[in-house]
Amino acid sequence: MVTIIFKHPDGEETRVDSPVGETVMRVAVEAGIPGIVGDCGGNLSCATCHCYVDPAWGSSLPNMSADEETMLESALDVTLESRLSCQIVVTAELEGIRLMIPESSL
């Protein structure tokens, strides 16, 4: 299991254990993380799983696809750290990754 740390806009953190191979979006939805909805079920056709990746972890993730970049254009408050959590697959190397939930997602 890999621990993912979700930081909420109020500063509170929630730690969730995830199996390798699952998407961060699915883990967040199953754990009831507010602000990660995943309306499209991870099919890259909405931006309801928008999150910010802690800058210390950005280089640990694969580059964003052109489709993910396009879909992020429909999200609110996009920054350089923005990613769609449905496109982040949990690997052992992501142990302890920190993701912030945008206030605009609540």
Q: How many domains does the chain have?
A: 1
State residue 106's pLDDT score.
82
Tens of pLDDT, residues 22-31: 999 999 999 9
Query: Which is nearest to 98 in space by CA: 55, 50, 34?
Result: 55
CATH number (domain holding residue 81): 3.10.20.30
Asked if pLDDT for residue 99 goes beyond 90, the answer is yes
Token pair belonging to 42:
């991870």
**Residue 97 lies in domain:** 2-105
Signed CA dihedral, 93, 2, 97, 72: sign only: positive
Provide the whole-model pTM: 0.95
Q: How many CB atoms lie within 10 A of CB 18?
A: 21
Do the bridges between strand 50-53 and strand 2-7 make them parallel or antiparallel, or are there none, so unpaired?
Answer: unpaired
Tens of pLDDT, residues 51-77: 999 999 989 999 999 999 999 999 999
Phi and psi angles of residue 23, each rounded to the nearest 5 degrees, phi first = -90, 150
Query: Which is nearest to 27 in space by CA: 97, 93, 82?
Result: 97
